[in-house]
Amino acid sequence: MRSVKVEEFCQQFLHLWSQATNPHLQLFKQDPLHAKVDPAQAESFIETAKSIGKQEARWYREHPQELQGIIDSLKINELPEAQAQQERYTFAVYKKTDHIMIDRNFLAQAQHFIEAQQLSRLLPATTLTELVFMHEVFHVLEYRKNLWTIQRQLHYQIGFLKKQARLYSLSEIAAASFVQTFYQLENSPTLLASCIIYCKNPELAQALVTTALKEQTIHRSY
């Protein structure tokens, strides 16, 4: 396997950060149910999820005490190591309805990496730990307020069976949009996953960036 060069990774990541036009569509495509949604409807779902995240972020920026009240009411602790070490890297977990587990060591290591690589300028007002924490706080909000992302059920049919299910990617899109607006980031925090993972698994981080860049090119050529 070709070894990953950190300079190359950072260059490609910065390119992705400045070029990625619709990272939320990529997130939606990872939803196990995405193929059951027609493209026009998918677009409107994504837009709605984004605007809900944005709207909540704007409101809580203006009402910091309300936000602090919610944070103070939560149970927050460290993510157990066994859970953090599963193959797909987990930085934090939201447990219904008021419990957040976060891997602070992992995120501190990642923060150290982005600072060393001069990437932390992309997050002028925050840190990776805060970003990830606020992402989970959005999941608390969406449950407490029963937001559209929770209510939205996809109705579909398999043979004679009528089914309905939640599109979890919409919650993720709204959470990303919430964090992006709250901290006024230039692009979606979902793109930062590769930077967080880099210190544990450079090959996977590089593969994520390469794939994302390829998909953006495909997306723009239509």
Residues that bind Zn ion (CB under 5 A): 172, 175
Q: Supply the minimum distance, in Å, between the C-beta of residue 98 and Zn ion.
A: 15
User: At its nearest, how many Å lie between Zn ion and the CB of residue 156?
Assistant: 23
Rounded to the nearest whole angstrom, what is the least distance from the CB of residue 3 to Zn ion in the complex? 32
Q: What is the smallest separation between the CB atom of 140 and Zn ion, expressed in angstroms? A: 11
Which residues lie closer than 8 Å to 7 by C-beta, 6 or more apart? none
Angle subtended at Cα 24 by Cα 67 and Cα 170, rounded to the nearest 5 degrees:
60
Query: Which residue type, as a one-letter code, is found at position 73?
Result: S
State the Cα–Cα distance between residues 60 and 204, nearest whole angstrom: 35
| Cβ distance to Zn ion smaller for residue 175 or 195 | 175
List helix spans (H) across the chain. 6-19, 23-29, 39-62, 64-72, 81-84, 104-116, 128-144, 148-151, 168-182, 193-198, 202-221
Q: Which is nearer to Zn ion, 103 or 172 (CB)?
A: 172
In terms of Cβ atoms closer than 10 Å to its own Cβ (0-12, 13-18, 19+), residue 54 is: middle
Of the pair 42, 140, the CB lying nearest Zn ion is at 140
Contact 204, 218 (CB under 8 A): no
**Among residues 20 and 49, whose Cβ is nearest to Zn ion?**
49
Closest contact distance (angstroms) between CB of 92 and Zn ion is 8
Select 20 or 140, whichever has its Cβ closest to Zn ion: 140
